[in-house]
Chains A and B, each alone.
Chain A
Amino acid sequence: MSLIKLEQVTKHYINGGDCVTALHEMTLSVNEGTFLGVMGPSGSGKSTLLSVLGALTNPSSGTVTIDGIDVYGLSQEKQADFRREYLGFIFQSHNLISYLNALENVMLPLAVTKLSTAEKRQRASSMLERVGLPDRMLHLPQQLSGGEQERVAIARALVNNPPLLLADEPTGSLDSATSQQVMNLLAELHQGGQTIVMVTHNRENLEWVDRTVSLRDGFIEKDTSDASGTLAQAM
């Protein structure tokens, strides 16, 4: 069953007076439970694709449907709710809040929900245990290693149990050993049924994905169909 559907999605940017097309009428369908790797050189449209999937950037045309919801048919505030309930973001540079400890960083998406403080704490701590950081909960980000920070970021992305996890170069700032640990964790999540879209430059990370889309100049250059047989179309 398709979790993500992009239909004829185009995104133009105005850059220094010039109109740059980051995505060209892209159509893409991703099944639930897929671990999709998105590759491509700089400027190929990877980050724009992730932003469009993440309800962060309105496409110039086309529709984006996630879990049956027309994301850009929602109001701005509803899009924020959608991001909180349906999406988990893992950023390249972890992007933890420096003045909050690991537990508080993981609780951050829950701060605007109506859950009780005890429930928020319980969810966040069990998520940190799941990513292997039960003894680092009260540490500030700067007291954690790069790999630990990435795992905190993953725990934060998952604390709302989102159907879709979006990862932007999750190993971009990590050494190879730590990258391996993070990719193992993502693979473990994937095995648990988590749908993941990961933008990466690192070909080694593609060992863990079950489908790869390569972009170039805003087009899908190459696509491997996933295990369930979904086919991406490049225009």
Chain B
Amino acid sequence: MRLENIVLHNLRRRKGRAIFLVIGLLIGVATVVTLLSLTDALGENAQHEMEKFGANIILSPHSDQLALNYGGLQLGGVSLVAEEIKQSSLVNIDSIPNRRNIALIAPKVLGAIDVEGQRVMMMGVDPVAEFKLKRWWSIVGRPVQQGRELVVGNAVAQRFNLAMGDTLKITGQDFTVVGLLAKTGSQDDQLLIAPLSVAQETLGKEGVVSMVEIAALCHDCPVEDMVHQLQTVLPGVDVQAVQQVVKTRMHALDQFRVFAWGVAVTVVIIGALLVFVTMMGAISERTREIGIFRAIGYRRRHVLHLVLMEAAIVSALGGVLGYLSGVTATLAALPFLDGGKATWQWNPTLAATAVVAAVVVGLIASLQPALRASRLEPSEALRAL
């Protein structure tokens, strides 16, 4: 017979209250674990998806002059003939320390061509990278693949009355329209999009690209670091970070986390209050019993020990079951969220933190009731006899 036996016997005897406390803590811990697990899984997936969604670093030929265009509007008669970027130099991108954080590299060549007597902008792209990067593009038909194929911008299609399967003669060569780009409201509406190598040949720009869009993001590497690394390996190329894109992405992820933590903290406070109120009730109910313990020679610390041990056992049980319930809920919810693409990964830190936090919250919430119990004067407690 030890104090532990008394605690276990009491828990068995007062199953209802113990189960109530365990369920209360279980719900709290499960909610927190579910939220944090989902935040991790969805955040990871969201980050991965966002990395591919639009560029946040742009490589362009070096120029000493300031650009005189804004929102597609060209000002003045400044004609900027900058040197193009050598396509062969792009392999250097793979040598930067943060190369793993680069999700996509989308090189493109730009140039004006004559179509039925009118000047039109042709853009040659790496089809796989470009169409992944421009997730917002909506194409009737299909993206270009190889050969003399075109995806036609909305304004160009209207101007030349082009439809799927039409043929367009450019510099004496026949190009087939395989896709029509829905209206974007941007400069993309003015483009004829062709495979990179075909466009380079048509424009007479073999082996060069006009600009490169890069999608990269990670938590622990500021995009400015990557810009600096790219500048080092690509001399003569201007590297610019699109700060707004980066910050918006980070802000979205941070907001998600703040929300999850906010709910978690609220749930923890509610759980602590539940434990506090229940333990206070239990102490009132056990006044007589505590009086007996004190009368037969239990020290205050023995009573404190009894109450806190009970709280610790119940809290640990609530923590373990809550963690398991939270993981189960996460696994059950993930297929319905984010198109089922997000995956759960076991996080030992979260598991340990859930159980330890449940015990700590249980003990802190029980401390006042336990102190109250231990301070009960035996004569006062026995007066209820």
Contact = CB atoms under 8 A, between A and B. Distances in A.
Interface of A: 51, 54, 56-57, 76-77, 80-85, 87, 89, 91-93, 95, 97-100, 104, 107-112, 117, 120-121, 124, 156, 160
A109 B302 CA distance: 11
23 contacts: A51-B382, A54-B295, A56-B295, A77-B299, A80-B297, A80-B298, A80-B300, A82-B297, A83-B378, A84-B298, A91-B382, A91-B385, A95-B288, A95-B385, A99-B9, A99-B14, A104-B9, A108-B1, A110-B1, A111-B3, A112-B3, A121-B1, A160-B297
Interface of B: 1-3, 5-6, 9-10, 12-14, 288-289, 292-302, 377-379, 382, 385
B300 A77 contact: yes
- Interface of chain B: mostly helix, strand, loop or mixed: helix
A40 to B, nearest CB: 18
A109 B14 CA distance: 22
A111 B294 contact: no
B9 A76 contact: no
Contacts of B382: 51, 56, 91
B385 A92 contact: yes
A120 B1 contact: yes
Contacts of A156: 296
Contact of B379 (A56, A117, A124): A56
Given A80-B297, A112-B299, A112-B302, A104 B10 contact: no
B1 A80 contact: no
A103 B377 CA distance: 27
A76 B296 CA distance: 14
A125 B379 CA distance: 29
Nearest to A106: B1
Contacts of B300: 76-77, 80
A108 B293 CA distance: 8
Contacts of A82: 297
B292 A95 contact: yes
Given A95-B385, A111-B1, A81 B297 contact: yes
Contacts of B295: 54, 56, 83, 89, 91
A109 B297 CA distance: 7
Closest 3 CB pairs of A and B: A84-B297, A99-B13, A107-B1
B299 A97 contact: no
A143 to B, nearest CB: 14
A156 B296 CA distance: 9
A169 to B, nearest CB: 10
B296 A84 contact: yes
Contacts of B289: 97
Residue of B12, B296, B300, B377 contacting most chain A CB atoms (<10 Å): B296
B379 A100 contact: no
